[in-house]
Amino acid sequence: MAPLQRLNDSFRYTNRSAMRDLITIMQPAATNAPDGSPGTPTVFAANVWASCKVQRTPIEINSSELVQGEVFWDVRTPYIAGVNDQMSMIGSKGQNWFIVSVTDPDQREVELRFLCREMNGGGENA
The whole-number pLDDT of residue 66 equals 64
pLDDT band at 119 (very low <50, low <70, confident <90, very high): confident
Distance separating alpha carbons of residues 98 and 31, to the nearest angstrom: 19
pTM for the predicted model, two decimal places: 0.79
Cα dihedral 115→42→46→114 (10° resolution) = -10
Domain 19-29+38-122 homologous superfamily, CATH: Bacteriophage SPP1 head-tail adaptor protein (2.40.10.270)
DSSP label of 123: -
- Per residue in 74-110, pLDDT tens? 999 999 999 999 999 999 999 999 999 999 998 999 9
Distance separating alpha carbons of residues 88 and 4, to the nearest angstrom: 42
Report DSSP letters for 81-93, one per residue: TT--TT-EEE-TT
Count Cβ atoms within 10 A of the Cβ of residue 114 and give its class: 0-12 exposed, 13-18 middle, 19 or more buried. Answer: buried
Q: Which residues contact 6 (CB under 8 A, 6 or more apart)?
A: none
Distance separating alpha carbons of residues 111 and 77, to the nearest angstrom: 6
